[in-house]
Amino acid sequence: MRKFIQRTLEKLPKLDIQSIRVLITQMASETELLEMVLHSMTDGVLVTDQNNLLMLFNKQAERLLPFRGQDLLERTLWEIIDDAEIAQFFREKLTGNENVRDKTFVLGSRVTRTLAISIMPLVKEGKAQGSLVHIEDVTEKKSSEARLRRAESLASLTTLAAGVAHEIKNPLGSIAIHLQLAQKEMKEKETIRTDTISGYLGVIAEEVDRLNRIVVDFLFAVRPMNIQLEETDINMVIRELTEFLKFELKEAGVTFELLLAEKLPKLLLDEKYFKQALLNLIQNSISAMPGGGKLTLETVRRGQDALCKVTDSGTGIPEEIMDKIFEPYFTTKDFGSGLGLTLVYKIIKEHMGEISVVSREGKGTTFTITLEIPQPDKKLIGYGGEEE
């Protein structure tokens, strides 16, 4: 309500009929404008009072939600919804005074729609006067995201396939050459030198083993990961992994330091896969410090995120290849599949996290993994003005 209307209401006992008529006309115009805005919205809006009775809704809410019956106002929200799952959702969250953000539901049998529903407190002067329910049709958004994921998967698969073809080419060539040499050694001879043939067969066996490793790495890179996220102490995971690697680090002449944040909340991790990601990063750091050096593992809380940093004092990454390090089969090593950092990237993405890198040649490299800290269900502001 506009300030001058509020001031006028305070003087209502002193107003004449004409002034009251002007006031009522202005309030009617305000109400009409708000109704126009409300009904013109592309998202659905519902408003309930302190007893969860429906007080207000717009036309888009009628289009999106399956309402039951015609008399909707002043009935509890879950009583008027003609969908058992959504009705139960409203009953649980509204009676529990819970704050919900973008809970998705799929409706329809022939033509399906995906709705994202949020519940927020309707607050005035620090006190909840009811609840505000927001409904968004995210069907097209979800479809676009699915198409984008499929396109990204296809592009990644194409890159991986090209890399595999390139990797397989060399061992196949070596096998062909040594088979020809073995055949030449045995051709039209009654006796053959077993030591020569054994040497050829040994090379062939090595190349077959190399091919097998390439195929195993490829399958690991393209197969969906069965990520099982559980609340896990990331500091404990780091301590266990460094304990496991301490002899390898010592042999490589690498000293390590742990800078772990105290009282860091538990994160949603698949311990096995997350350890694999950290292991790949640590081994990458060891390779970057051929003459030894220092490795630091650090955890930090930043707002609603937890950061895990792996820092080495190694040779660093040249700026011109920085954008390529997570690409499949890209490697600067003489030996290696080129999939190590690709798998790290995939694992972190499966954890709904982000990974970034900062590096300077001759100064070292820092990989930073960012993971969201799980948030407990938030309660709406209590009707007495305090959070429940």
Query: Which pLDDT score is estimated for 275?
Result: 93
Q: Give pLDDT, residue 333.
A: 54
Domains of the chain, start order = 41-137 (3.30.450.20), 142-222 (1.10.287.130), 230-372 (3.30.565.10)
For residue range 250-294, list pLDDT tens digits in order.
999 999 899 999 989 999 999 999 998 999 899 889 988 988 899
Q: Strand 127-137 to strand 98-107: parallel, antiparallel, or no bridges (unpaired)?
A: unpaired
What is the band of 388 on the pLDDT scale with cuts at 50, 70, 90? Answer: very low
- 100 or 384, greater pLDDT: 100
pLDDT of residue 140 exceeding 50, the answer is yes
CA atoms within 13 A on the CB side of 184: 8
What average pLDDT score do residues 90-100 get? 87
The Cα–Cα gap between 59 and 38 comes to 8
Confidence band (pLDDT; 50, 70, 90) for 385? very low
Q: Is 112 exposed, middle or buried (0-12, 13-18, 19+ CB in 10 A)?
A: exposed
Which secondary structure element, helix H or strand E, spans residue 135, and what is its range? strand 127-137
pLDDT of residue 141: 85
What is the rounded distance in angstroms from the CA atom of residue 192 to the CA atom of residue 178?
15
Identify the DSSP state of 387: B
Report the mean per-residue pLDDT for the chain: 82
Write the CB contacts of 229 (distance below 8 Å, at least 6 apart in sequence): 268, 269, 270, 351
Q: Using CA atoms, how far apart are residues 122 and 133, in angstroms rounded to an integer?
A: 9
pLDDT at 341: 82
Q: Report the candidate in 347, 346, 320, 345 with the shortest Cα–Cα distance to residue 332.
A: 320
Give yes or no for residue 188 having a pLDDT over 90: no
Highest mean pLDDT among 85-89, 139-143, 379-383: 85-89
Tokens representing 12 are 């209502």
Q: Are 15 and 23 in contact (CB under 8 A)?
A: yes
Region label for 311, one of left (φ > 0), alpha (ψ between -120 and 50) or beta (otherwise): beta
pLDDT at 40: 83
Percent of the chain with pLDDT over 70: 84
Average pLDDT over residues 48-68: 88
Higher-confidence residue of 185 and 310: namely 310
Alpha-helix residue ranges (DSSP H) falling in the chain: 3-10, 17-40, 59-64, 84-95, 139-186, 194-222, 234-251, 271-287, 340-350
